Amino acid sequence: MTWSPFDSKVMEDPGMGHEYLLEQCPVHLYQSSELEFYTLSRYSDLESSLRDIEVFSSHHGQGPNFSEPAGMLCDPPQHTIYRRLIQPAFSPKSIEALRPKVIKLTNQLVDDIFSGDGDFDLHDQLAFPLPVIIIAGMLGVPISDLEKFKLWSDIQVEVMGSGDPEKYREEQQSFQDYMVTHLRKRKKEIEIGEKVDQDLLTLIAAAKTPDNESIPESDALSMLNQLLVGGNETTTSLITNLVWRLLEEPSRWKMLLDDRSLIGSAIEESLRFDPPVLGLYRNSTAAVSLHDQVIPEGKKVYMYYAAANRDPDVFENPNVFDICRRPRKHMSFGLGTHFCVGAPTARLEAEVALEVLLERMPRLSLLGSGERIKPFFLWGRRKLPCKWR
C-alpha cells in the first residue's frame, strides 16, 4: 500500500491509511516535484518529538514550505516572550468573561435561522460566524469586515499548504495593510493616553522589547495573523465535525438530548476522531534515527496528529466514535511548547453551540454530509445542510 495526504481517498476520509502508517510505516517519506516531507504517526513518536524542540524546530514555520521565523512561529526565547504577551487573553478568567457573549451571539444566530423555512446551512449560519465574530472582537477589529476576514483567513491557510505561495501575494498584502492600519491606530491611542479596550490588539500594540522599544511590526502582524487563522477556521471545523458525527447516527444525538453531562466528552471525542488540524510541521535541525530510518537534517516533518489520535497503544477501539469515551489526551491541540493557546476558547464555543442546539433545535437532522474544506492538512465541512423542523 502507498499513502499520501493528497490522495483523493485520504482527502475524502483522512481516517484512510492510519493503520498502515501506524503499523507498517511509522516514518513515511512523501516526495513530489513541489514538496518533500517525512510523516510521523505514532503517539509515542509525536509525544517525544514535539517535546524535543531543539531537534524538531518551529523556526521555519508550521506548513510544508520553509518560511522565515516571525511572531510566535519560531523557537524560544522569542516564542516564549510573545506567547507570554498574549496568554492573559486566554486565562480561565478571560474565557469565563467571554461566556455570556458567546451565549448571546449563539442565540442570535439561532434566532436568524428560525426566521427561515426550516432548511439551513449549519456551516454558513452558525459554525462560521460564531468563531469569526468572537475572534474579531478579541482582536479589536469591526465585525462589519466579517467576509473580508473569512477571505483572508482562507488565503493564509491556502498559502501554508500551497506549492506556490507567491500567487497569493496580493491578497496577503491587503490583509497586512488592513491590520497595519488598525495596529498603528491603536498604538497612537495608547500613546496619547486615550482609554482603549483591553483586547489582544492592545496587548500587542503596547508590547515592548526588553530595551523598551515597540516590538517589530512584522512580529506583531504575524501574531495577529496567526490568531485570526487559528481562532477561526479551526473552531468552525470543530463545530461542523461535531454536529455532523452526532447527527450521522441519530442515537448519538438522542443520548445527548437525554444526558447533557455528555457534552464535554462528546466534544473531546470529536476532537480526537476528527481533528480540525490533521497535522502540522516541524523542521529537523539534526539527522534523527527512528525505526531503522534516518530523517536527515534540514527536512520538513509532518506531525500527523490525526493518526496519533487513532493509535491503538493509547486509545481502545480507536476507530470507533464513542461520546462516552473517557477522555484521554488527544493531540488535536498539539503538545508541549506550542500547545494551542486558544484551546479554551474553542472548547467554550463548541460547548455553548452544542448546548444551544440541543435546547432549541432538538429535532435537528442532516440533509446531506456537505463538502470537505480544501486544505489537505485541515479537516472540516465547508457546507453542512441541515433542517431544524
Q: Which of 197, 174, 224 is nearest to 72 (CA)?
A: 224
Options 341, 361, 373, 386; binder of ligand HEM; rule CB under 6 A: 341
187 to 226: interface string for ligand HEM, x by CB under 6 A? ---------------------------------------x
Q: Is 39 in the site for ligand HEM (CB under 6 A)?
A: no
Residues 224-243 that bind ligand HEM (CB under 6 A): 226-227, 230-231, 234-235, 238
Q: Are strands 381-383 and 280-284 parallel, antiparallel or unpaired?
A: unpaired
Options 64, 161, 342, 370; binder of ligand HEM; rule CB under 6 A: 342
Nearby residues of 376 by Cβ (< 8 Å), 6 or more positions away: 5, 6, 11, 161, 278
**DSSP symbols for 350-380:** HHHHHHHHHHH-TT-EES---EE-S-TTB--
Q: Is 333 in the site for ligand HEM (CB under 6 A)?
A: yes
* Spatial distance between the Cα atoms of 221 and 181, rounded to a whole number of angstroms: 11
Of residues 333 and 376, the one with the C-beta less far from ligand HEM: 333
* Spatial distance between the Cα atoms of 117 and 76, rounded to a whole number of angstroms: 53
Stretch that binds ligand HEM, among 1-9, 116-124, 285-293, 337-345 (CB under 6 A): 337-345
Q: Which three cell numbers stand for residue 164?
A: 506556490
* Backbone dihedral angles phi then psi of residue 200, each to the nearest 5 degrees: -65, -35
115 to 154: interface string for ligand HEM, x by CB under 6 A? --------------------x-------------------
Between CA 90 and CA 93, with CA 184 as vertex, the angle to 5 degrees is: 15
Of residues 72 and 220, the one with the C-beta less far from ligand HEM: 72
User: Roughly what angle, to the nearest 10 degrees, separates helices 343-360 and 92-114?
Assistant: 40
Q: Which three cell numbers stand for residue 23?
A: 503499523
Options 46, 280, 308, 352; binder of ligand HEM; rule CB under 6 A: 280
Of residues 148 and 363, the one with the C-beta less far from ligand HEM: 148
* Spatial distance between the Cα atoms of 103 and 100, rounded to a whole number of angstroms: 5
Of residues 41 and 235, the one with the C-beta less far from ligand HEM: 235
Can you say how many angstroms the Cα of residue 223 is from the centroid of all Cα atoms in its chain?
A: 15
Q: Is 300 in the site for ligand HEM (CB under 6 A)?
A: no
Q: Which of 215, 309, 311 is nearest to 271 (CA)?
A: 309
Of residues 162 and 226, the one with the C-beta less far from ligand HEM: 226
Stretch that binds ligand HEM, among 12-20, 188-196, 248-256, 276-284 (CB under 6 A): 276-284
Of residues 39 and 332, the one with the C-beta less far from ligand HEM: 332
Of residues 344 and 367, the one with the C-beta less far from ligand HEM: 344
Options 204, 246, 306, 346; binder of ligand HEM; rule CB under 6 A: 346
CB neighbours of residue 227 within 10 Å: 22
* Spatial distance between the Cα atoms of 138 and 342, rounded to a whole number of angstroms: 11
Q: Is 332 in the site for ligand HEM (CB under 6 A)?
A: yes
Using Cβ positions, the residue closest to ligand HEM within the complex turns out to be: 342
User: In angstroms, what is the minimal distance from the CB of 313 to ligand HEM?
Assistant: 21
First-to-final CA distance of the chain: 45
Q: Which positions lie near ligand HEM, rule CB under 6 A? A: 58, 62, 72, 83, 135, 226-227, 230-231, 234-235, 238, 276-277, 280, 332-334, 338, 340-342, 345-346
